[in-house]
Amino acid sequence: MRADRIYAYGAAAGLIGDLLLGDPRRGHPVAAFGRAAAAVEHRLWRDHRGRGALHTLVCAGGAAGGAALAAHALRRHPVASVALTAAATWSVVGGTSLGREARAIGGALAAGDVELARERLPHLCGRDPQALDGPGIARAVVESVAENTSDAVVGALVWGALAGVPGLVGFRAANTLDAMVGHKSPRYRRYGWASARLDDLAGWPGARLTALLAVTAGGRPREAVRAWRADAATHPSPNAGPVEAAFAGALGVRLGGTLAYGGRVEHRPVLNGAAGRAVETADIERAVRLSRRVGLLALGVTVAARLGAASVTRRARMPHRPRTSGRRAI
């Protein structure tokens, strides 16, 4: 079986596994990677960019290298290769768990239980829940759903299509390292610089595809494009900006503004401020449904791109057959 078909079958099976089961309840590979990365940090940490770059190389490079070795070992066994791709895809994408957590917070807000919503918010994002009221929590959830659609679903599928299992695993490793050490805090301002930059680079194509698919699937394409073009560049993150702006336009809401994050207050630009309204609790469900549509479309786009690229490569490698005059030899 060809490598492109192995990826197509495996990625589809892995995403279906996520849709049906969500994240693994126990022994999650990403959690195991996080513990290993924390152990490496314990040994390597110094307030120095070089040490941080070494930490990134050891952790992200080790994860991608291990995945490459596993894929190479199974290259002659198509069924096992499909199973490995499916398992890797299921492990690194998190769209179902993202939607589940968002809906749980939305349910608490709908029931008027703001305290419960505050308790659950740290499961979804790093905002300070005590600094948020009900509408502020709803806005934080919608923003997190938008950003994590790129980080936890689309970005992984893009790198899987580009580099197979090592791409899937490497992308999630870079994203996890950024969440662990890529903060602008006194401890990680230097040490986490390399992880943050790697995540920015790895997330660039997935973020643009996420924004494009939000425009396509959101039902308000003109508004989504307008918000993306007008406001994405004002966001401090080069990848969250396009995604959140496109979601804001597609949902017809305002995102951004003042937030408390990691013990500090940030005043971010408002996205879709001219045309959007304040986020309401019901918008959480709308954001989750949009995220689900974007994820399914991303699977179709990335698989089609992988199959199409493989077809072009095969045609280019076919031996050239010289043309004949069409006359038969006598």
- How does 37-67 read in b/e, with b if 16+ C-beta sit within 10 Å? beebbeebeeeeeebbbbbbebbbebbbeeb
Residue 330 has a pLDDT of: 42
Give residue for tokens 């989504």. 224
Q: Is residue 320 part of a domain?
A: no
Give the whole-number percent of the chain exceeding pLDDT 70: 95
Residue 262 has a pLDDT of: 60
Range of the domain at 58: 3-312
Q: Is residue 12 part of a domain?
A: yes
Q: Is residue 39 part of a domain?
A: yes
Q: Is residue 242 part of a domain?
A: yes
Average pLDDT along the chain: 92
Residue 268 has a pLDDT of: 83
The whole model's pTM is what?
Answer: 0.91
What span, in angstroms and rounded, lies between the C-alpha atoms of 309 and 302? Answer: 10
Q: Is residue 123 part of a domain?
A: yes
Q: Is residue 329 part of a domain?
A: no
Tokens coding 42 = 């314990």
Q: Is residue 330 part of a domain?
A: no
What span, in angstroms and rounded, lies between the C-alpha atoms of 5 and 271? Answer: 40
Q: Is residue 284 part of a domain?
A: yes
- How does 239-253 read in b/e, with b if 16+ C-beta sit within 10 Å? bbbbbbbbbbbbbbb
Number of domains the chain contains: 1
Summarize pLDDT for 112-153 with one digit per residue, the tens: 999 999 999 998 888 888 888 999 999 999 999 999 999 999
* Mean pLDDT within 87-98: 94
- For 220-236, give the DSSP string: -HHHHHHHHHHHGGGSS
Would you place residue 329 in the very low, low, confident or very high pLDDT band (cuts 50, 70, 90)? very low
* Mean pLDDT within 296-311: 93
* Mean pLDDT within 274-297: 96
